[in-house]
Amino acid sequence: MTHEAVGTQRGWNDRLPPAKAYKARPGLPRDKRSAEQDRAAGGRHRRAVPLDDGSCARGSIQLRLFRSTRRIRAYLRWSDNGETREKYVCEVYEPTRRANLTVAWAKAREAGKVIDEPLPPNSTASSVSVRAAMTANKGKNTKPELILRAALHRRGLRYRVGIRPLPELRRTADVVFPKAKVAVFVDGCFWHGCPDHYRPAKKSGAEWGRKIKDNRDRDAATTSALKDQGWMVLRFWEHEDLELAAEEVKATVERRKAVL
């Protein structure tokens, strides 16, 4: 069987490809490996391998070095009824593992070996990409929140998490400093309508527009209610530099403690 090569060969005839072209970083945790595959495929929802029964499995790309031919070959792997299966995808010639994974995923998609994960029958999302964004934007303990909390902790700050700054107001803040009366929110770009990254859905656009507008109105009402009771409200988008955000929070808390 003749294997098709992707890209242009870059001088591996007389030497082995560099390790960085195919090897994963030693000791990389499973969740990091999965995230690496997600990035290369263009999203977790784009890693679906169609099965014979109409369902899908989540695939991954494995890069293997064949020393005798000095070639790196990419294989698509997945699990079907507890058995690991794989299919050859292509040869890759890029200088980094990340680039080679990206090439292999694109080739697998082009050959129909992977597809976008189908929408569940009861899903309200207009597309798999919208559903992926919705799924990624969970309500609490999101990755940006955890990053900010860790940054605050390193700066010696202690705080409450996910509580109501005002007991009578049914709104929780992501990080709360009760004595300094500082409430911090980390707003997700999708659900809160980030002006830089939110993209309206093409299908049911009016309905989604109303949902996002309601969320923004609720955010504004929450901020206003807290300020009326003497609270300082800090809001950050999830895409912002959260180390800089932590510096702003620390300065605000220290300033408030000095005057309250």
pLDDT band with cut points at 50, 70 and 90 for residue 17: very high
- Angle at which helix 242-259 crosses helix 143-154, to 10 degrees, equals 50
- Nearest CA-CA partner of 41 in 3, 83, 74: 74
Confidence of residue 6 (pLDDT cuts 50, 70, 90): very low
CA distance 204 to 181: 40
Candidates 171, 187, 188, 186; CA nearest to 231 is 171
Beta partners for residue 91, in sequence order: 5, 73
- Which of the two residues, 131 and 103, has the higher pLDDT score? 103
Residues 103 and 92 sit within 8 Å (Cβ to Cβ): yes
CA distances from 177 to 116, 140, 164, 185, 257 (A): 43, 18, 11, 12, 10
pLDDT-derived band at 122, boundaries 50, 70, 90: low
Q: What is the pLDDT of residue 107?
A: 97
Total-model pTM: 0.51
29 or 157, which is more confident? 157
**Average per-residue pLDDT for the chain:** 85
| Residues in Cβ contact with 103 at an 8 Å cutoff, skipping those fewer than 6 apart | 6, 7, 74, 90, 92, 94
The predicted model gives 7-36 an average pLDDT of 80
Give the model's pLDDT for residue 225. Answer: 96
Write down the domain spans for the chain: 19-110, 128-259
Phi–psi pair at 88, nearest 5 degrees: -65, 140
Measured from the Cβ of residue 122, the count of other Cβ atoms closer than 10 Å reads 5
Burial class (CB in 10 A: 0-12, 13-18, 19+), 127: middle
Q: What pLDDT shows up at residue 24? A: 92
pLDDT of residue 252: 97
Report the DSSP beta bridge partners of residue 62. Answer: 75
Is the per-residue pLDDT at 135 higher than 60? no
Assess whether pLDDT exceeds 50 at residue 8.
no
Q: Is the pLDDT of residue 133 over 70?
A: no
Over residues 159-175, the mean pLDDT reads 94
Cβ atoms < 10 Å from Cβ of 245: 21
Phi-psi region of 163 (alpha: psi -120 to 50; beta: other; left: phi over 0): beta
pLDDT of 155 reads 96
* DSSP symbol at 205: H
Q: How sure is the predictor about 7, in pLDDT bands with cuts at 50, 70 and 90?
A: very low
Residue 41 has pLDDT above 90, yes or no: yes
Decide if 21 contacts 66 (C-beta within 8 A).
no
Contact 67, 54 (CB under 8 A): no
pLDDT of 147 strictly over 80 = yes
| CA angle centred on 259, ends 159 and 218, rounded to 5° | 55
pLDDT at 79 over 60: yes
- Which CATH code is given to the segment(s) 128-259? 3.40.960.10
E strands within 106-251? 160-163, 173-177, 182-187, 232-237
Q: How far apart are CA 61 and CA 47, in angstroms?
A: 9
* Structure tokens belonging to residue 131: 């559903």
Cα–chain-centroid distance for residue 134? Answer: 11
Cβ neighbours around 188 below 10 Å, total: 23
pLDDT for residue 44: 86
